[in-house]
Chain A
Amino acid sequence: MRTNVHVKKRVAIVGAGLTLFARRLLETPAELAWEAASRALGSAGLALKDIDCVVIGSAVDGFDGVHMKGEHIADGAGGLLRPTVRVAMGGGTGVMVPIAAWWHVASGLCKTVLAVGEEKMSHAYPHPQAVFAYIWHPILERPLGPNLIWIFALEMAWYMRECKASKEDIALVSVKNKRNALDNPHAQAAANITVEDVLKSETLVWPVQLLDISPVSDGAAALVLADESVARRITDTPVWIEGVGFALDSSFWYNRDLSYPRYVEQAARMAYKMAGIERPWKEIDIAEPHDPFDYKELHNLEGLMLARKCEAPRLLKEGHFERSGELPTSPSGGLLGMGNPIAASGLMKTAELFWQLRYEAGARQVKKAVHKAVASSWGGLMQTSTVIVLSR
């Protein structure tokens, strides 16, 4: 395997838009896609007629309750009468959307691409947990009647043991991200909470408690990508996609050590190599690692090589990952603070870095100067990672 053999074209992000993230929104899936898409177009000063190609991302059809969901929301995503394609990588979908949009532009076949992520989890009634029953291997796992959180609990317990991290150490992620979300008007779960609040919340599957998890949500997010000539024409501050990476590990998740996400490292190395980054822990200024669960942010940070193995809990405690810290992580509020409409929340992370790199994040703007940023989404049976590196 050898990727990034001779990438030549530069691809920029020139616009971004989000809907509200909430437990239940009135809008249909297509309407949510449209709201985010039109917001992104507007921010780039473009109209739909200026768009050549569309990439849709949506994780699980079962949530919206519609089979072939990409076709279902194609109209809302601006995909009619143009080439439209949907990527679906479970939790990894969010960052896969701008990656797929990247190769649309980098191929020279599309000058502008609208990238839209949408998820409407409230359609699954009474609770989206029932849909998650279908992620498991139908013969080896489903007969045991697993719920989604089992697998996270098994991984979290392994990480805690391997890294001698306590529940208190990990709860700090939830505290930080929910607090960061207080400055995000799109957020569903912003709050000023303490470590005790997390530890007192309902234990769902030990060691996972209610406040360790991002809530289920409805929402959509969109980006506009453009090739260099278009980008330079429409904005003075394009944000460049410097590197993309993705990797999938084996579906046999109970045949390997889960305490370290080797597939995240694999995806990150691919993206960093393209971006010419050799020492990510020094060169990356700001990160939006995937945080559907609090420990996942630490796990992803280590996989992204922004902290050494088992080092993330200590750095967190020292304030390293705060907005005022050396390497702010999830300044948006992350999924823990923003809510987690799966494909949209991953795309939201890329959008947040776009705003941060343009110094447009308002109250959320991090203290330090930012030049290079990385976002990741994680998914599947502890196996999917998608990584994007941006610069200004």
Chain B
Amino acid sequence: MEIPGKYVREEELRKMKGVIEYVPKAKYSYSAGQALSVFLRGLKEGKILGKRCSSCGRILLPPREFCESCFSPAGEWLELPQTGRVETASVSYISAKRGKLERPEIVAIIRLDAPGYRGDEPEFPGIFHRLCGVSEEDVMSGRVFGARVRARWRPAEQRAGSITDIECFERW
């Protein structure tokens, strides 16, 4: 039985007539909204701000206007410690567009030291960011898992109210 679908090699495609090249012109200005605007302003000032759900008491980081588990408005703002532990990490050798990177990037999920948390809860205030001062070997050997890290900030004058105002999380 013949299977529908004709495979085309890259070189063949380039030689074909009528191939249309088109770059989508898609630009957006995403509204950060009530919660993230305050969070981003906090980053500019060198603070990590979270919210506490007034219903379940959970600390919401990144902050949101509502707690998605209780489906109720999130309560008060609080400044969180800038330290935490590495839950998981990886080493990237490729760029966002699949090109080879000169220097690998190490990223991690960091569980922040939030008040009222023991540190082993399945849900936790967390942040997704780069690690610095950590070697590929540290990650691959598993040494970095559970490691204590803290936020390293860009100089105040370079901060723009972006997640990248934190340069990375470093070991200490």
On A, residues with C-beta under 8 Å from B are 18-27, 32, 35-36, 39, 62, 65, 125, 127, 129-130, 132-133, 138-141, 143-147, 149-150, 153-155, 157-158, 161, 185-186, 202-208, 218-219, 250, 252, 254-258
Chain B 55-91 interface 0/1 with A at a Cβ cutoff of 8 Å (1 = within): 0000001101000110000000000000000011111
A157/B4 contact (C-beta < 8 A), A139-B36, A204-B93 known: no
- The answer for the CA separation of A143 and B129 in the assembled complex, in Å, is 10
Q: Which residues of A contact B90 (CB under 8 A)?
A: 150, 153-154, 157, 205-208
Residue from the set B30, B36, B92, B127 with the largest chain A CB neighbour count within 10 Å: B92
Q: Which residues of B contact A157 (CB under 8 A)?
A: 88-90, 139, 145
Query: Which of B64, B95, B108, B145 sits near A161, CB closer than 8 Å?
Result: B145
- The answer for the CA separation of A204 and B95 in the assembled complex, in Å, is 9
Among residues of A, the one whose C-beta sits closest to the C-beta of B6 is A26
B134 within 8 A of A: no
- The answer for the CA separation of A149 and B24 in the assembled complex, in Å, is 23
Query: Which of A23, A127, A132, A204 sits near B7, CB closer than 8 Å?
Result: A23
Are the CB atoms of B3 and A158 closer together than 8 Å?
A: no
Are the CB atoms of A144 and B5 closer together than 8 Å?
A: no
- The answer for the CA separation of A139 and B90 in the assembled complex, in Å, is 21
B172 within 8 A of A: no
Q: Which residues of B contact A153 (CB under 8 A)?
A: 90-92
Query: Which of A22, A155, A206 sits near B5, CB closer than 8 Å?
Result: A22
- The answer for the CA separation of A35 and B1 in the assembled complex, in Å, is 14
- 29 A–B pairs (Cβ distance < 8 Å), ordered by A: A19-B4, A20-B7, A22-B5, A24-B7, A24-B9, A125-B21, A129-B96, A138-B28, A141-B128, A144-B128, A144-B129, A145-B96, A146-B107, A147-B92, A147-B98, A150-B90, A153-B91, A157-B89, A161-B88, A185-B3, A203-B91, A205-B92, A206-B91, A206-B92, A206-B139, A206-B140, A207-B90, A255-B61, A257-B122
How many chain-B residues does the 8 Å CB contact rule pick out?
Answer: 54
Residue from the set A21, A23, A205, A254 with the largest chain B CB neighbour count within 10 Å: A254
Are the CB atoms of B127 and A65 closer together than 8 Å?
A: no
- The answer for the CA separation of A145 and B99 in the assembled complex, in Å, is 13
Query: Which of B4, B30, B123 sits near A36, CB closer than 8 Å?
Result: B4
Among residues of B, the one whose C-beta sits closest to the C-beta of A147 is B96
A154/B107 contact (C-beta < 8 A), A139-B36, A161-B145 known: yes
Are the CB atoms of B28 and A27 closer together than 8 Å?
A: no
Among residues of A, the one whose C-beta sits closest to the C-beta of B3 is A20
Within 8 A of A (CB), among B1-48: 3-10, 13, 21-22, 24, 28, 30, 32, 36, 40
Q: Which residues of A contact B61 (CB under 8 A)?
A: 255
- The answer for the CA separation of A161 and B87 in the assembled complex, in Å, is 10
Query: Which of B3, B40, B95, B128 sits near A254, CB closer than 8 Å?
Result: B128
Q: A26-B6, A205-B90 are in contact. List 19 more A-B contacts (CB 8 A).
A: A22-B7, A25-B5, A25-B8, A62-B24, A130-B96, A130-B97, A139-B30, A140-B128, A144-B129, A145-B96, A146-B107, A147-B94, A186-B3, A205-B92, A205-B93, A207-B140, A219-B5, A252-B64, A254-B127
